[in-house]
Structure 1
């Protein structure tokens, strides 16, 4: 299962045997279970949700968390799994992130022991699907403008508001909703999706991430028991800690999309002939392939460095922003250049490149736009917030 790209610069030289095993098993799962149906799912604007229980059986949901039946794998192992999933499609890797890094991560970090015992084991097995309800229609990259409210009435919390671009909400059994309490403090709540007043609708008009599921949510006097609140959550720093887990996975995942595009371009350069010779024999094509490969490997080594820092407990917000900003930006450039090498056929579904190009535009936007991460890095460099 070694690819052409692997042979030139093999990541297995830098990871443990266990981490490499996770990667190879993820590659086999992605290539045999996701890849055969992903083009059709993209055309049908459908997340292949029937595969989510298999991801749970595989053990990838919340795989870097300890206890509660979870695998306790390294952050590097998780990154490698994310990369292999996104090598097939960004949308399916997003589902891995929403479930494992955001929904499960919020409960793991801020939930009570009872909440963890109740929800994390079935979520890890893929028997219960969760979502993470932070973004709102008017807020986008500024969650401090949050309008969703949670007020206390006796032994209940009552939630009202709207959320948008929320992954998995229409197929989920529960979600973590972020709302401002009566003191204006952001708190997290576990909301079963069968609660009266909860409504989720899929966003249907996407031209990107079509094989994924993003939703709008309306909360109308949603009544929850007092113990629905995540007791450890207080303030925007709580959801941001979850978002940083997802951003870390993106730094790895997009390198999978870049690799997939590179493999298609290399193969095409060897097989397509123009002016009496394969296009790969032309200096300009080889220069493009070489430049793309260099950026791919730099991005992969950056992700690996971030993973080692994370496993050592030393990864900072600014460093995560470096990974998300650089790797998404370079993956988009790689996909675009590969599309040009493929010529007119590059816009067809015969190759995965145009699908990756479209998906990566969404990845560029969610979990912090380029501009947001530039400002995070700028704040780290100057000590001055320019938000």
Structure 2
């Protein structure tokens, strides 16, 4: 029975630990749901979609129900050819009601251009949202693997502590046997204390990195604790030609500026359409009633449908149409310049990132070999210290070399992952 309880306890403990593990995929999903920049960007894209309607483009009629009424109390004095008429206490009530329709039937095709522009604005909003998604995913990956890097640093420090404890034990034994000087023992203890201090500082660094990750994820409580993986996968091998080919067709910044050019061109067409006449249909059903207490007309009521058209031909408006067309042409030109500039900058960024990726990969491979050599050298020095064939200073130097190599290796590994992530972000492949 006791064995069964212990078994169940172990299973429960493992389940709880598994629930606290935050994978990278889970972190990305949380950020896409909770990150505040993502939420704002999504709202902006939704507003562009809401604005994209035929009514907003001016293609649909407007129908209004209007009504008015009044009461008047007057002293009326009228003089005409037949004599003078007086109504000293005349009261009048009036009532007017109508349903009016106004519909632009023709405006030179401007409404269709406007609708097309609204379509492109909506598409631009979605591209800008995708850009924000890619930026957020990049930030999540960078923050996530920064925590992994700091944990690896702590692991290296703990390994150094383990070596230092072994070194203190050897120095203590040698000092007791009279084969090592007390200074060797003291130096070993000093080095152990320094590494233990480094471990405490590193724990604080990990805590701060976790809070940064929490902030990007949009967690309300930045102090929430969870565990993450302790390794950085490095299986990516970029194809330069493939990346260059995909860049112009998939990079959201380039696509956004292409869409901005289309919007500017449509805005120019809108301004040009202002030169053309407009034809508007007006109609409705009207009711009007007036009641007078005195006078020749005591009650007057009119009602019925009315319909008509209004043709408006622009002749002169102070040069406003010409000014708007000139401004729109400049905006099209500026959009083209912006497009060429962003293409240049993105291509330069891709080339720089590819170069950085290659450099970091070479540095990582060299340092990986160097780390193995430093570890072997440290093991040999400790063995020689046991045999009394070396000094504590030599062991200290070997240990420092190994710790520094482990730090460089971890940083190269992280930098390589960041370069990989940037390449994927540039081609919208995250």
| Same fold by TM-score greater than 0.5 | no
Which one has a larger percent helix, Structure 1 or Structure 2?
Answer: 2
Larger radius of gyration: 2
TM-score, scaled relative to structure 2 = 0.24
The structure whose RCO (Cα within 8 Å, separation 6+) is larger is 2
